[in-house]
Chains A and B, each alone.
Chain A
Amino acid sequence: MSKIKNNLLVIGIYMIFIVLTITTVYPIIWVLGTSLNPGNTLLVSQMFPDHPTIAHYVNLMKNTDFGLWYKNTIKIAISNAVISTTLVAATAYAFSRFRFKGRQQGLMTLLILQMFPGFLSVMALFVLLLQTRLLDTHLGLILIYAGGSISMGTWVMKGLFDTIPKSLEEAAFIDGASNKDSFLKIILPLSLPAITFVALNSFITPFMDFILPQIVLRSSEKMTLAQGLYNMVANETNSSFTLFAAGAVLVALPITMLYMYFQKYLINGIAAGADKG
């Protein structure tokens, strides 16, 4: 009796899986199909076009600043990853390995600041950038991203640094290593997961975020991908939607691959971030 029940359960699970697979894959296939569809409108677009064309991709490269946006985004992403990771690693190292006055308060401040939605400070950032002549520059955007990543990443990285036993460093100190040596040769290699997490996160942010660029970057040749794509859809039509679909595929493909490849790091990193204290 229970065996039949069990078999029914397994069949039920497979049925659910099939339904879920369809709902999961449908939007993805649909965008792919639309981007390969001839013509401009959505209504005639088919999931699997009879005469697939790459016209939209060509169009995207030739008639829009898409290539430039891609270059900008990668430039911003790499700079942000390098600066943020360095800042976060230094901060987390100080908080994890030293006991000093103001340590508790500093950690608490970061925790509270992290909860404040970043773009609420947009007004003030705008004025600050304007006065420091950083408006409409990539540097301005990178600096803001780097500043924002500190409160987010420090807790994650500090959490990992904390798990590395102090005795390892003490042994190194006895052998005459300096703080710098112990950081570079012991802590860094052992905390690769957290570092990968922070670096990846700050690399991906510029690909995803469109609010901040929308405020900082004004001219079309300086825009980032997310910003450009958003403007395509917000421009209120379904005529540029096929263009958007092509762009979306070109953005989503590398990011999706990155995510799939670094799955473990990213998921564990977020889980570690929640587990503060």
Chain B
Amino acid sequence: MHLNKSSRQHQTKATIFSAVFIGLGQLYNKQYLKGLIYMILAQLFFWNYYPVAYKGIVGFITLGDVPTKVIQGKVVQGDHSIFLLINGLITFIVILLYLGFYFMNIYDARKNGALRDEGKCAPRFKDSIQTMKFRKLPYLLLLPAAFFVLFVTVIPLLFNVLIAFTNYSAPGHIPDRALVDWIGFRVFYDLFAQESWRSTFFGISVWNLIWATVSTTTVFLSGLLLAMMVNHPKIRFKKFWRTIFILPWAVPQFISILVFRVLLNGSFGPINDLVTKLGFSPVPWLSDPTMAKVSILIVNLWFSTPFLMALMSGILTTMPRDIYEAAEVDGASKLQNFFKITLPLVLLATAPIFIMQFAFNFNNFNLIYLLTDGQPNNPDYYYAGSTDILISWIFKMTLNQSQFNMASAVSIIMFIFIAIFSLWNYRRMKSNQAEDLV
């Protein structure tokens, strides 16, 4: 027992030294150069950053004390709550990185102390660099990506989440004329407690779910049918048909949506022009709430089917022929073939794509925004039209109405929903693959 204790002497001491002062444990381990570099870096950083960090955290907590005012015709610059919020966020991340460095330094001292306890020497500086090049290569490779993801995705995302807990919204709390304050969960409370917010949220959610489900299913089926028709053995010029039908996929989507917006226009659109010339009354393609939803589904069918058709063609050609031959022997009809063999097999092969399409359609902002812009108006909704889905509603609240806090509250709820859905999907696929291996 006693022997055991003393045999860990170096390890314990080095750990404690590094915990007390960054770099000290390394010096104790006789890694002088490394210890010095650690010390200097840590001290330089700490004393330079300390005042900035202090200001950043105070700003984050208070979100500013003085708004910008105009006193006697002069503008007196005050605090900008939103800038303070982001600065605070960045400060926290830098502190976290510093803490990470601190723990790495302790871990390093502990490991090398243990080496010394075994009677070996701690690696020299040159050797450390050599092993680092080899062992830490994946981290080096990931560094640039991590940096990008941190600043372009993670910080904005955290910022977006934080906004939901403030009163950042028009008309009362737009910096820098006014300050923004933390208000806890009140926005979420309003969303569910206030009648008009609640009905808007639920109304849009229901349409969003219907839209995602129906659009994915219709496109899936039409793609499958089209692929089966093109693949039919008696059909000639297969390549020609395929090229024509793939066209809508190749045309840039935003252009085709904008074109459809004009084509379907109720008053000067060419389609209604044709309809009236044929003697029918004009169809309110985009101006009637129900009709607009149908139009969206049809337009979606127009440019989403080709991609599915191309995919299904590939899958259909890999179908095992012997199953169909066996079915023929048993006297199965064409319809039975389709429902009992083709559909289940295709579904099995395309399940991941089906789910990805669902998630994509759920947030298909471009289609809604460019085709109808959420119109026609719905008087019962807050800042939304009848065809708005959650994401376009959020967009409107953010960019047109400056209801930033409500927008971010809704986006958090939406994000949780999608994240759970995708994680479930990921797990399910993993288990499927495990089964495949057996």
Contact = CB atoms under 8 A, between A and B. Distances in A.
Given A20-B245, A25-B247, A230-B258, A150 B149 contact: yes
Interface stretch (B11-19, B351-359, B376-384): B351-359
B302 interface: yes
Contacts, number: 219
A146 interface: yes
The residue in A6, A110, A123 that gathers the most chain B C-beta atoms within 10 A of its C-beta is A123
A4 interface: no
A257 B62 CA distance: 55
Interface stretch (A52-60, A125-133, A190-198): A125-133
A111 B426 CA distance: 9
A16 B139 CA distance: 56
A267 B306 CA distance: 10
A78 interface: no
Sorted nearest first, the 4 A-B pairs with minimum C-beta distance are A147-B152, A121-B156, A259-B250, A124-B156
Contacts of A125: 152, 156
Interface stretch (B51-59, B181-189, B260-268, B276-284): B260-268
Interface string A116-142: 110111111101100100000000000
Contacts of A14: 235
B422 A111 contact: yes
B429 A121 contact: no
A124 B142 CA distance: 24
A105 B255 CA distance: 39
A273 B356 contact: yes
A238 B263 CA distance: 11
A274 B149 contact: no
A138 to B, nearest CB: 16
B22 interface: no
Contacts of A28: 247, 251
12 contacts: A10-B234, A42-B269, A100-B139, A106-B142, A146-B152, A208-B252, A211-B365, A226-B254, A248-B258, A252-B252, A260-B246, A267-B307
The residue in B148, B310, B391, B418 that gathers the most chain A C-beta atoms within 10 A of its C-beta is B148
B393 to A, nearest CB: 12
Nearest to A26: B263
A128 B155 contact: yes
A272 to B, nearest CB: 10
Interface residues of A, number: 85
Given A42-B270, A115-B422, A208-B253, A121 B244 contact: no
Nearest to A98: B138
Nearest to B147: A147
B235 A277 contact: no
A193 to B, nearest CB: 14
Given A87-B148, A252-B251, A276-B429, 12 more contacts: A14-B235, A27-B256, A87-B145, A95-B138, A97-B138, A117-B363, A117-B365, A120-B408, A121-B157, A150-B148, A154-B145, A259-B249
A199 B287 CA distance: 40
Interface in B394-437: 394-395, 398-399, 404, 408, 411, 415, 418-419, 422-423, 426, 429-430, 433
Interface string A138-164: 000001101110110010000000000
B255 A274 contact: no
Contact of A115 (B160, B391, B419): B419
B253 to A, nearest CB: 7
Contact of A255 (B145, B229, B250, B273): B250
Interface string A241-277: 1001000100110011001100100010011011111
Interface residues of B, number: 82
B141 interface: yes
B227 to A, nearest CB: 12
Contacts of A151: 149, 153
Interface in B228-249: 229, 232, 234-235, 241, 243-249
A170 to B, nearest CB: 16
A70 interface: no
B109 interface: no
Contact of B83 (A87, A127, A248, A271): A127
B149 A113 contact: yes
A17 interface: yes
Dominant secondary structure at the B interface: helix
Contacts of B430: 277
A124 B352 CA distance: 32
Contacts of A208: 252-254
B151 interface: yes
A98 to B, nearest CB: 4
B157 A113 contact: yes
Interface string A26-64: 011011000000000011010000000000000000000
B347 interface: no
The residue in B156, B253, B268, B365 that gathers the most chain A C-beta atoms within 10 A of its C-beta is B156
A150 B255 contact: no
A260 B154 CA distance: 35
Given A13-B229, A17-B229, A112-B422, A123 B251 contact: no
A270 B232 CA distance: 26
Contact of A127 (B86, B139, B261): B86
A91 B145 CA distance: 7
A128 B148 CA distance: 13
B311 interface: yes
Given A120-B160, A120-B394, A208-B253, A233 B268 contact: no
B250 to A, nearest CB: 4
A179 to B, nearest CB: 6
A207 interface: yes
The residue in A94, A117, A128, A151 that gathers the most chain B C-beta atoms within 10 A of its C-beta is A117
Given A148-B152, A151-B153, A94 B141 contact: yes
Contacts of B395: 119
A233 B159 CA distance: 33
A202 to B, nearest CB: 13
